[in-house]
Chains A and B, each alone.
Chain A
């Protein structure tokens, strides 16, 4: 299952200029993610988790350092190349506002095909869309618009869209932050199944230990650095007990 590194970050830093003052949000982050691995990034609010995720997905460029995704140096791509990389290799799920309100569920899931100029209503694309919709259990509402769905259903649509193109890397930023415990659990289970059954590589950002407990490995961020790394391993049972125990051990 683990056949090599798919994502690597080398000594990433990121500075923002706020007013006339530079704020260093990331101060030298290095990490490796193996193909098929489920990695969670934890840390307190403001520790730079989202910023890291943006750099890993090629949405933004680091101030220094490199991101290598599937053999390509993401951090040095032009906007055009980065766009194509996103189209082909990554899928995103955000905490809020994942869907285009004007489009129905099917159209939202089909968006990556539409963007690439592929007619999503026929052929392989249609089959694939149906497949992911079935996987997240949303075939019944494929003609509904996002505002007719619950928050959990909306997140499942977002997940389906992120998965529809079989991306090399799925990046999720607090996908359950907006949801109650049970609904959030469903989403996390979907994530875990896509990893376990289909070998989907996932980087999940969260501050919730129960969410992070689904991962194979947890990176703990603080102060713009990776403070700690907790190996949990692939388990059928995603109880948060062991992780919470480790975190407590670390004094977090």
Chain B
């Protein structure tokens, strides 16, 4: 041994199992951290890519706010605006390919396609269209189409084939495919099913004269900001939104920020659990070796050399663990991404494995390990040289671990988490029922509070552990002696027991909290839909249908149908921003008794009548509170030259959920008139009581003939719930890693304590305990500890879950309804892991030879 530092290595090697378990704990923590960082980075990259795809080479997008789009006059004004180099107007609509729309009854509808009407000359200048065959559109084309490779292969289409598109105004129209562009095309939402046709043909097909957007590039020396100023001064007649690539990326990013934040929170908790393992293992090692340290000190080793030895061991464990963790994290993150992929608004590729995130994960892993080892190192340095004089096999001088040092570890992790916290996280809180699924949003404060609660909980564990151990021992009372002995050995060093149980507590708390939150969010969704939708089934159309369409009358006349009510969702300009609005039929809502009016929020009958008469609006309480809107106020909507003024006739507790906010409710006359809606997006169907199951098949069959997709409220909940479940299940799986770490910690602690108690076990054997009983004693010790930890974890989890729910309940006055079955499962899992972890140490203890144990010095 040339250098003293080699002693650190020798120590690690001498207790190989312990070192491996500890490094594995670090590895698991870092794996989850890396997976979360890399998933986050991947989402970020995908968002930027989606935004870049969407915008191409354009500097700015002018987006129509209303459904009828931007008029010819506006397009002309924008095109001629100073500073504009190229202006590419386009109309985007969804439709079905004919003849697939003429479906056999009860068949499910195929995936729709997105039709993009483009300016054949301007569009290619702003958006890359790499051809994989044929040619691009020219100004001379009329009924020609360019489709994406993805659509071509999906529908087995070739150049020269006709493609039949269902229109809105006119009937199905045949286009001839002249070109195929590589890949998915430039509209991310189309998911590759994109058909590009000349703008005028698209307008004719859908019976509109406007465009959805105009993409612009700026002339030399003109910045996007200058152009924004220019346009704002020029176009005043119609409502529109201006967006740069970065704006689009930001809004997409905000959609994923909460998910990424939660992922990070889980990673922090898991890593914190890993830090417990380090802290505990090194603490025990120091205690175990205190005589050795005393000897070294007596021979002239300085305090800092002793501390250095401990820190060096920690560094080695941390570095090896982190490196393994990063490798495991790569696998974990691709698993996680493929699991989430189907739910997110953007599609994700392989995980982002940048040098940056690798280094960051390594750095955080090592830093956390070092932070966790500072206290044991410091304590080792304080071991006095006289410790070498002790005769007993181990000294108590090294003392118990000081739990308050965990605050340091906690702080290191919190700072690391803040440094990588996803940008674009909305500051507010509340639940929104987004198109893709319900999202929980807590801002930054929430996760910090949750995280802090974990620490506080672990710090109070020592106080409640005594009685809790007794409680947790009850199920094991059948083995009276073993239970007593096991419990007393747990109570011997409370801080060690706390640290061992700590990881379990946090992991299970996280699982239970997420489960509770998920159940509540699902419940919110159910209540929300039930409160605001006048029906038990929704018939959805991909493009607006007139509320008086013959199809609707036909369905309304079917036996068993009580009512069918048209609903449209669209955007309206209010106070300079886009506000989501819904057109509803007041009469139907009144008859069905939907919506809950707040006190002083108006009289339902009057309000619904006013809505149908026109000039009236019902606002959700959230908006009323936020913008100080009172009953009787007038809201002014900037609809073109003539503003639309609507009187507030009602304030409701909850309104229809839009894409990102609750909609304001207007009557159909205003929607079709000044707001430019062209028809209903879905119809709510209410059946006669008891006739639903009998009447459903015919309704669905008729609906699908008219290209209406049917879904009952339950299955809307279902899709919402499914997406949510996947996300929560992922988070759960990650949180369970903390439970696994707890298992490693337990195996570690028990192995050490069995060694430490060698003499004691020898005495027990000598006075007649069988090796089976010794085995049972160790396993019961783990069982009691596991049960106690799991119980604390469950209670803490319910508390945290309750907080999450309270933050996001959106005023539904949720009954606290935790998923007891899953909680029971989680608790059992915790106990199972503990008991499993104890099998090896129990074996070691029971096989120990009595003679050796007794002569053991």
Q: Do A and B bind each other?
A: yes
Q: Does chain B have a CB within 8 A of A88?
A: yes
Contacts of B291 in A (CB 8 A): 97
Interface size range on B against A: 20 to 34
Known A-B contacts A102-B10, A103-B10, A110-B1; A60 and B302 likewise in contact (beta carbons under 8 Å): no
A102 to B4, CA, bound (A): 13
Given B11, B292, B305, B391, which contacts A115 in the complex, CB threshold below 8 Å? B305
Contacts of A101 in B (CB 8 A): 14, 292
- B299 x A94 contact (CB < 8 A): no
Known A-B contacts A107-B1, A114-B1; A102 and B300 likewise in contact (beta carbons under 8 Å): no
1/0 per residue, CB under 8 A from B, across A85-114: the answer is 011100010111111111100010011101
Contacts of A88 in B (CB 8 A): 300
Given A86, A95, A111, A114, which contacts B2 in the complex, CB threshold below 8 Å? A114
- A102 x B7 contact (CB < 8 A): yes
Give chain A nearest CB distance to B95 CB in angstroms: 76
Tell me how many residues of A have a C-beta within 8 Å of chain B: 36
Contacts of A60 in B (CB 8 A): 384-386
Q: Does chain B have a CB within 8 A of A84?
A: yes
Give chain A nearest CB distance to B294 CB in angstroms: 9
- A96 x B4 contact (CB < 8 A): no
4 closest cross-chain pairs (CB), A and B: A87-B300, A59-B385, A102-B10, A86-B300
Known A-B contacts A100-B292, A115-B305; A83 and B297 likewise in contact (beta carbons under 8 Å): yes
Contacts of B385 in A (CB 8 A): 54, 59-60, 86
Contacts of A121 in B (CB 8 A): 2
Known A-B contacts A96-B857, A102-B7, A115-B305; A173 and B389 likewise in contact (beta carbons under 8 Å): yes
- B303 x A54 contact (CB < 8 A): no
Contacts of B1 in A (CB 8 A): 103, 107, 110, 114, 120
- A59 x B296 contact (CB < 8 A): no
A173 to B390, CA, bound (A): 11
Of B1, B3, B299, the most chain A CB neighbours within 10 A belong to B299
1/0 per residue, CB under 8 A from A, across B1-34: the answer is 1111001001100100000000000000000000
Q: Does chain A have a CB within 8 A of B301?
A: yes
- A115 x B299 contact (CB < 8 A): yes
Interface residues of B in 372-400 (CB under 8 A from A): 384-386, 388-389, 391
Given A50, A79, A114, A119, which contacts B389 in the complex, CB threshold below 8 Å? A50
- B295 x A84 contact (CB < 8 A): no
A110 to B6, CA, bound (A): 13
Please, which residue of chain B has its CB at the minimum distance from the CB of A92?
Answer: B298
Of A60, A88, A94, A102, the most chain B CB neighbours within 10 A belong to A102
Q: Does chain B have a CB within 8 A of A161?
A: yes
Give chain B nearest CB distance to A173 CB in angstroms: 7
1/0 per residue, CB under 8 A from A, across B277-302: the answer is 00000000000000110011111111
Please, which residue of chain A has its CB at the minimum distance from the CB of B289?
Answer: A100
A12 to B821, CA, bound (A): 70
Give chain B nearest CB distance to A123 CB in angstroms: 12
Q: Does chain B have a CB within 8 A of A62?
A: no
Q: Does chain B have a CB within 8 A of A57?
A: yes
Q: Can you offer 20 A-B residue contacts whose CB atoms are under 8 A?
A: A50-B389, A54-B386, A60-B386, A80-B302, A83-B303, A86-B298, A86-B299, A88-B300, A92-B299, A92-B388, A95-B391, A97-B291, A97-B857, A101-B292, A115-B300, A115-B301, A116-B300, A117-B3, A119-B3, A161-B299
Give chain B nearest CB distance to A133 CB in angstroms: 16
Give chain B nearest CB distance to A71 CB in angstroms: 18
Known A-B contacts A60-B386, A86-B299; A117 and B4 likewise in contact (beta carbons under 8 Å): yes
